[in-house]
Each structure stands twice: as C-alpha cells, then as structure tokens.
Amino acid sequence: MPKLVFELFSTSSTLVSISSPSTIPNHLVLGQHNIKSLSSVRYMSTSTNTLAIEKKMVPGNEVQQVELLAGVEDLYGGIIIDMEKTMDSEAFVPLLRASLSQWKQRGKRAVWIKLPIELANLVEPAVKGGFKYHHAEPDYVMLVNWISKSTNSLPKNASHRVGISAFVMNDKRQVLVVQEKSGKFKGTGVWKFPTGVVDEGEDISMAAIREVKEETGIDTEFVEILAFSGCQWRSMQSSLL
C-alpha cells in the first residue's frame, strides 16, 4: 500500500464552523456571572419550551408574573434561546422586549437566539430589537445581542477553512499526480497533487486519505504532515489554511 504524507494548502471550499451544534457552546460567551439581589428577582424557571414565567417582587410585597422567552443560562453570563415552536412576530416582539429588560436587570451580558428556517419571520423583528447575525447553517440562523454596558467580548464567527494537498509515493518512489476535471486548472494540462477540503469534525489525516481515494481510487496510509501554510482569501473575506 502506498504511504501518504501531506501538506496543508489554501482552498476555496467548505467553511469549517465552530458554531454548528444545536446550541452555542458555553465558551462562545465570555465573562463571569453578575449576580443580582434576590429581593428583586426571586427565581426563573428554565425550559426547552418557547416561554418561561418569571416571578418578581413589586411594591407592596406582591408577586407579579412576567412572561419571558425561555432561555438557558450559560456559564459566562449569557442566555441561549432555542426557538422551536411557531410564533407570530406580533407575539414575539413584546416577549423579546420583556425578556431583554429582565436579563439586563439581572446583569446578563449577551443573548443568543437560534432561529430555524421555519421561523425566518422572526429575523426582522429580532434585528430591529438589537440583534445581529453571528452565523448561519443550512437549517438555522444564529443571532446575538450584546446587552451589557461592558466591552463586547463576543467571539467572531469561524473565519478559516482547512484543505489538504496530498504527497503520495509508492515503494518505487513514484509520486502520484492528477489533472483536474473542474476548477481553475481544468483544461490547462497542469499536473498537481490530489487536493481537497477537510469536512466538519473530520481528522486532517483521514481527510487526506479520503480525498486521495475519491480522486484516484488509490488506498493510502497516512505518515506525517510535511508543511502548514495559510493565506487571506480576499474575495471571501476569510483565511485559508
């Protein structure tokens, strides 16, 4: 079996995103909890449903129920809302306003809203409410709003993509090269190493083996990384590794 070593190269294919899980990972919201007085907020119920009820004290020692969007608190002072049920924008707007008001009073720093494609009607009112796009996947968009008065420390969206160029040599010290059927080298007569893109969650070594197999049908064995490089892909405003 030919042995495979490879080097990383610049490519214009799939973006490797760090924010594709069903909810934003805890490390994406930076900072520490800012605990407010228990006299102003007694408790908040967290739920996977669309709504939650918060009870707070009002003058006269009376308890007032406030309907909020259901959110999960992360470990860094943020709230994550995973919208799942259909909601009209007219009902969404007052809930969002009330929720933001309560979370600001509680010292929360950022609010994330995950909107599936079925709830695209809520994107516009959310943006008008101060939310900005953070990232998007084929079936949802993630919006975020930094509601704290402190310096915004939210991480940027994923900005790098990873590709490989495989250097394959057999026992006779013959090197494998290919010609492209598509892309910028199509029809140019240029011979090149097999190249490709690392899939999301895929190990780099496995990506190299897979790409060689897909392009040539040859089974290979990974040996080592020969080189690592990167450049700025200006047309797509992202860095390539």
73 part of the active site: no
Contacts (Cβ under 8 Å, ≥6 apart) of 216: 176, 178, 194
Q: CA nearest 147: which of 21, 9, 31, 4?
A: 31
Which own/partner contact pairs does 188-193 have at CB distance under 8 Å and 24+ positions apart? 192/165, 193/165, 193/166, 193/167, 193/168
Q: CA nearest 84: which of 130, 44, 122, 29?
A: 122
Report the length, in residues, of the chain.
241
Separation of alpha carbons 150 and 147, rounded Å: 9
Angle 235-214-241 from CA coordinates, rounded to 5°: 35
**Catalytic option among 214, 215, 221, 224:** 214
Q: CA nearest 3: which of 230, 170, 140, 117?
A: 170
Q: What is the 3-state secondary structure of 141-184?
A: EEEEEECCCCCCCCCCCCCEECEEEEEEECCCCCECCECCCCCC
Going by DSSP bridges, is the β-strand pair 140-146/160-161 parallel, antiparallel, or unpaired? unpaired
Separation of alpha carbons 105 and 142, rounded Å: 24
Extract the tokens encoding 28.
Answer: 């994406």
Enumerate the active-site residues: 214
